[in-house]
Amino acid sequence: MSASKKNDISRRDFLRLSVVAAGGSLLATQCRPASPTAPPAVATQSAAPSAPAAKAKVVIAAGADASTEPMRDMINSGMAEQALGFPVEWVELPYTTLYEKLVQVGSSKGSDFDLYMMDDPWVPQFAGGGFLMNMTKMGYTPGPGFIEKTLDLGWWPPKTGPRVPGIGADVQPELYVLPIIGDCQIFFYRKDLLEEAGIAPPETWDDIIQIGEKLAKPEQGLYLLAARGVRGNPVVTEWFPYLYSHGGEIFDEKWNITFHQQAGIDALQLFVDLLKWEPPGVATYDSDEQGACYLQGNCITNIEWTGWISQAENPEKSKVVGLTGWTTTPKKVRSASQIGNWVMGIGAGSKNPDGALKFLDWFLRDDVQIELAKRKGVPVKQAPYQDKDLQAQFPWLPTILHALENSVWRPRTPEWPKVEDILGLHLNMALTGQEGVQEALNNAAKEATDYLKSVGYYS
């Protein structure tokens, strides 16, 4: 998770919000023709000269997050307006407020915003519910050079994986959103401490255990890592790369729960076993507490979101500037980070859909994506990651590319927040010893299955 601005709940606390299920509707809102203009008034001798028409602006509803700041600064500096010839307004809202406002405006086809910035799990609700214009029906085809995993987030129904009840296999995926910020999980480690101990950069969970055995000194305040263990979304997000690295998944192709199978048991057992090298109280940690452990030099490693890179390299916030190495999340049978892109779509009630599309085209040009990378942003196009000068200046870029290419998205269903809430409760109970490993997963699987049955799955 990126280092969110904490005047509201964290970006990925989506589970705490009430999700309005889309009901499987695929009625896409198309671009509306311009309203007919009134006949021109008859001029008189005393009529004042008409003022030049104001250029139609594009208004963006955007999320307040460390990972979005480079994009915000590019727009607020006038770069977009200079390139496009019309104003672009950035309206920044805390995560919860952004979601609630976009649901309100989207469901009423309001015209407050032309572009909606969204967390990618919102796509099933927003695309399926008719909140967004259908970019395929607008005649838009994405150009080359995208990182495929980022572009795949924008289709509804999704190109792969199970489909929610009511959407048949014959329904063709159509494009509703484009990726904007390539946020995902990566792995931070103290390269100075590992080099001093003669330990190679970690690749596997066995390597992580070795670092814990050789370097962690919890009694002296030096910890292997700090998990985000608070119940709900944070602990599920933290456990996600453990589960998928062990070969597990949340669902099968028929929406049957699978996280309680052997891969999940092994992943949760490791998650619990590592507690001996973690700070006391991690079962109450969210991203701020987790990040602080690393930035203050108390954690040797951590799973972090890309927004924390700029924090770790900021001398005003970090005691470990220049001491961090970056790699992908550890593997067992594979490495699998959770992808958490910011995506952007055109609101169904937009007053300026053509301008909105021009903005997206501009921001996703290779040269603009390179500028984003220069500002420590996270691009979604290949070009910045292949630039040798950028790689030398920003050594985390190859790691982010590899993580994105091997990332896993969260389940594409409007019911995911509820399932995540159930799973997060029982993962937290396993961390606190209130439930055993298998007991926690079995209880979560049963409750999640019962819930999904109640809303029409498995019928």
Q: What is the DSSP string of 235-246?
A: HHHHHHHHHHHT
Q: Pull the structure tokens for residue 420.
A: 């995540």
| Per-residue pLDDT reduced to its tens digit, 144-160 | 999 999 999 999 999 99
- Tally Cβ neighbours within 10 Å of residue 350: 27
Q: Using a cut of 0.85, tell me whether the model's pTM lies above it.
A: yes
Which amino acid, residue 115?
Answer: L
**Alpha-carbon dihedral sign for residues 322, 324, 327, 328:** negative
Place of tokens 């996703």: 364
Q: What is the model's pLDDT at position 385? A: 98
Q: Which residues of the chain have pLDDT under 70?
A: 1-54
Q: What is the model's pLDDT at position 55? A: 77
Q: What is the model's pLDDT at position 459? A: 80
* d(C-alpha 101, C-alpha 97), whole Å: 6
Q: What is the model's pLDDT at position 170? A: 94
| Per-residue pLDDT reduced to its tens digit, 264-319 | 999 999 999 999 999 999 999 999 999 999 999 999 999 999 989 999 999 999 99
The answer to whether 282 and 206 are in contact (CB under 8 A) is no
Domains and CATH numbers, the chain: 25-30+57-183+340-405 (3.40.190.10), 185-338+415-454 (3.40.190.10)
Q: What is the model's pLDDT at position 171? A: 96
DSSP code at position 204: B
The answer to whether 378 and 341 are in contact (CB under 8 A) is no
* d(C-alpha 207, C-alpha 333), whole Å: 14
